[in-house]
Structure 1
Amino acid sequence: MYDETTIGARLRTLRRWRGMRLVDLAGQAGMSKTHLSDIERGRKALDRRSYIAGLAAALRVSETDIVGGPHLTADPVQAGPHGAIPHLRMALQTNSLDQPLCDRARPLTELVAELGAIETMRVRCDYDALGGLLPDVVDELHVHTANPVDEAALGLALRAMVDACVTATHLASNLGYGDLAHLAARRAWEAAACLDEPVEKGKAAFVSVLTMPKVGSAGSWARSLTAAERAAAALSPHAVEPVGVQVLGMITLTASLSAAAMNNHSSAAGWLDEAAELAARVPDRPTSAWMQFSATNVGVWRVGIGVESGESGRAVAELAQRVDETRLEGVGSRRASFLADVGRGLARDRGTRDLAVRYLRRAENVAPQRIRNDARVRETVAVLLQQATSSAGGRELRGMAARMGVPH
């Protein structure tokens, strides 16, 4: 059931490859020997970034070496979106803003309109449809940045490029292609730098922080936090209009996550409070906000950061009760993340594991393409399946396991 494709088994292989004893690795990673043993045996999920970072540093490997990269299953819903990745990779790797390798493009206004449709697909987590459109848009936008008809057209093309690359970042990251996600973020930054507009730079900085490589170094998350702090400081004087406030708000949330991953819980709480103050300046309408930044979304991030900080299942449930889930209707990306984080948190406590399964199934129903490709959810499902005692819970978990490629 819990074989070499799972995180715990992979971690055990890496530990033995380094010739480290369980007690030594646990000590260097800041966790107990019992906890690490339970992870290796599939009794507990390795779902906290702080632990993953500590283990990667101690083993001198990247975090991807521990958690794994993209995985493909026989399930077409899970595997289908991966078909767009080669074309997207080619568009991002072979073009530049002044030297496109695509030789023709549709009118710029048509590409901008298509980006609006693509954003709707991203919010709904319709990655199959999104992947069918986005690579061509990225390709063709390079034609317009290299050969603009005038200065206004160049500005429009560059802003569209920022938006396209931000979307590419999310698609690649959510499918497990961390290297491609970071490349897309760098392409967004290159376009934003040409514009010299603080809000556009803030958008690019947000995805750059999210996709910074996490290598076997204890300073990886510290660099993410530093980058987020600098981005927030640069944008803060210019965050006047709603979009600027929303972009700044998302940067503060990434700062909070980075602090939590470093086990700096007071700093994480401070950044969350700052995000809440920013959210009070804009309407609480996740459906129309940039990256859904709003008071509701801050509540969603509080849940996720609570899970990262090691809160108990019951504590996560209390945080979840403060979120008005009805405001997330129509925002599949945020709603699915919220439900998945609640489920992962609930899975930690024996008394809330059955409820955890229900939350994870709800997340899968809201956004199947995203959730079936989520490595942290996959790990939680694998561990819950190992722990399952009731036949009903076992049936639900076996179904999710089959769709996510978890041995069952």
Structure 2
Amino acid sequence: MADELSTGERIRMLRESRGLTRAALAQMCGRGEVWLKKIESGERPLRSHDLLMRLGAALQLSDLSAITGSSGPAAPVPSGRLAHPGLPDVWAAVMTRPLASTTTAEPIDPAVLQGRVDQSWRLWHTSEHNRTEVGALLPDLIRDAEAAVRAHDGEQRRAALVALSDAYRLTGQATAYVAPAELAWVVADRALAAAQDADQPAAIAAAAWNLGNILRETAYPDEALRVVAEAADLIRPHLDDAPDDWKGVYGALLLHAAVTEAREGREGTAWRYWDKGDHVAKSLPATYVHPSTVFGRANVDFHAVSVACDLRKSARAIGLADDIDPDAMPSIERRARLWVEVARGHLQRGERTAALKVMQMAYEIGAETVAYTPAARSIAADLWRHAPRAMRPEASRLAEAIGVPTAS
């Protein structure tokens, strides 16, 4: 196809060449016909990597560049979603939830249960192989949390519900990009339902932040913004006398909105949300870090890089990254994602040598974070195809380590 064709025009031509109706292709991607019509006409931009991959798979493409053109990312289109060996056990724990209590064992103390959940969140942020290690803990954690909710009543039950909500939020993080869509939605819904049942504003806000992530990554940005805005409105009246972690959740909601607005190209609104998040961070102790969202001074600075990248202000993104001390962020997972963002900024500027070096840093910091993040895989695929000749052996080794197909 001609280089000057837009993404929407390419999708329409590919769809018609395969004899697919607009309704049929949209259904294969889990969306509606009106959505695809807007994409094909250019009325709505298509920025979601996940949806690009779904379209590529539905159109039976081997490479994403058939949709994005020569100026877009070149990435192999997998025949199925990314796989992780721990997913079947997590799936079984989520999808075979008992409808009634089936054990006579002593019920788990909700405080002990919450301690296990908190410890698992710490492992998520501090392990280089966080999906594997946390994924191994999740099945028992989910089952025990569900059993605790059924076994207790009153305040004990409310505490168990908060722990259950936190466990499901962690499940959403640990299975992102590898779980079937139905599992992602079930997990997000259960996290929010448990928090609402507990009637605890901070837990509701955290679950809404998690749901917002799912909505944004499945190309429902307006719905994502609505959810996090409602959660922010819910928790805001409690902040004056609230614990620091309640403010941390509130700040995380604001940063979520900043990135969502940036991905939609709304620069002014994106930076206004970021400024509000920055203000919250300044009201907290300098060393404060929220245990699950890792909101704090460092994460606010990291999000500034993401906002600039999503707005395609690559020079600003790289400049902001130059002033960041990565070691101020205790989360290995978040540090690895920062360097993926920096690599994305370099790639936007055509600086593939710099992008490769930064991606190698990201992989050394958090191998599984990079291997299971679509944006990182897209960058690795682009580098494998287009890195300078002298850098191609390194680019090939990185792609193979991440698991990006490199067969010609």
TM range, smaller chain = 0.7 to 0.9
Aligned counterpart in structure 1 of residue 204 of structure 2, from 201, 223, 238: 201
CA–CA distance in structure 2, aligned partners of residues 151 and 361 of structure 1: 51
Matched, 1:399 2:402: no
CA–CA distance in structure 2, aligned partners of residues 321 and 194 of structure 1: 44
After superposition, what is the alpha-carbon deviation per residue over 1:257-276, rounded to whole angstroms, capped at 9, x for unaligned?
22122221111111000000
For 1:1-400, what aligned pairs fall within 5 Å after superposition? 15-18=13-16, 25=40, 27-30=42-45, 40-41=68-69, 43-45=71-73, 70-72=81-83, 82-95=84-97, 99=100, 107-108=108-109, 109-125=111-127, 126-148=130-152, 150-173=153-176, 175=178, 177-212=180-215, 220-239=220-239, 240-285=242-287, 289-312=291-314, 314-328=315-329, 330-350=330-350, 352-391=351-390, 393-400=391-398
Q: What is the Cα deviation at residue 13 of structure 1?
A: 7.0
CA–CA distance in structure 2, aligned partners of residues 284 and 38 of structure 1: 47
Consecutive unaligned residues of structure 2, counting only runs of 5 or more, are 1-5, 23-38, 47-63
CA–CA distance in structure 2, aligned partners of residues 184 and 333 of structure 1: 21
Q: What is the Cα deviation at residue 406 of structure 1?
A: 2.2
Residue 229 of structure 1 aligns with an amino acid whose one-letter code is A
TM-score (norm 2): 0.78
After superposition, what is the alpha-carbon deviation per residue over 1:216-267, rounded to whole angstroms, capped at 9, x for unaligned?
7xxx211211222111111111123201100001111111122122221111
Decide whether aligned partners of structure 1 residues 325 and 121 sit closer, same or farther in structure 2, where only a CA change above 3 A counts. same
CA–CA distance in structure 1, aligned partners of residues 74 and 191 of structure 2: 32
CA–CA distance in structure 2, aligned partners of residues 400 and 166 of structure 1: 30
Q: What is the Cα deviation at residue 302 of structure 1?
A: 1.1
Q: What is the Cα deviation at residue 14 of structure 1?
A: 7.3
Correspondence for 1:51: none
- Give SS of 1:249's match: helix
CA contact (8 A) 2:305 2:317 kept: yes
TM-score (norm 1): 0.78
The more displaced of 292-301 and 178-187 is: 178-187
User: Sequence identity, in percent?
Assistant: 20
Q: What is the Cα deviation at residue 181 of structure 1?
A: 2.7
CA–CA distance in structure 2, aligned partners of residues 399 and 225 of structure 1: 39
Decide whether aligned partners of structure 1 residues 146 and 101 sit closer, same or farther in structure 2, where only a CA change above 3 A counts. same
Residue 319 of structure 1 aligns with an amino acid whose one-letter code is L
CA–CA distance in structure 2, aligned partners of residues 230 and 192 of structure 1: 14
Consecutive unaligned residues of structure 1, counting only runs of 5 or more, are 1-7, 48-65, 73-81
Decide whether aligned partners of structure 1 residues 311 and 143 sit closer, same or farther in structure 2, where only a CA change above 3 A counts. same
Residue 127 of structure 1 aligns with an amino acid whose one-letter code is R
Decide whether aligned partners of structure 1 residues 258 and 300 sit closer, same or farther in structure 2, where only a CA change above 3 A counts. same
Residue 99 of structure 1 aligns with an amino acid whose one-letter code is A
The more displaced of 106-115 and 120-129 is: 106-115
CA–CA distance in structure 1, aligned partners of residues 290 and 274 of structure 2: 21
CA–CA distance in structure 2, aligned partners of residues 369 and 106 of structure 1: 35
User: Higher relative contact order by CA 8 Å / sep ≥ 6: 1 or 2?
Assistant: 1
CA contact (8 A) 2:131 2:175 kept: no
- Give SS of 1:252's match: helix
Residue 230 of structure 1 aligns with an amino acid whose one-letter code is E
Residue 243 of structure 1 aligns with an amino acid whose one-letter code is D
Residue 204 of structure 2 aligns with an amino acid whose one-letter code is K
CA–CA distance in structure 2, aligned partners of residues 189 and 174 of structure 1: 20
Decide whether aligned partners of structure 1 residues 185 and 257 sit closer, same or farther in structure 2, where only a CA change above 3 A counts. same
CA RMSD in angstroms, aligned pairs only: 3.1
- Give SS of 1:128's match: helix
CA–CA distance in structure 1, aligned partners of residues 393 and 327 of structure 2: 29
Decide whether aligned partners of structure 1 residues 199 and 42 sit closer, same or farther in structure 2, where only a CA change above 3 A counts. same
CA–CA distance in structure 2, aligned partners of residues 283 and 140 of structure 1: 34
CA contact (8 A) 2:286 2:297 kept: yes
CA contact (8 A) 1:175 1:374 kept: no
Residue 203 of structure 2 aligns with an amino acid whose one-letter code is E
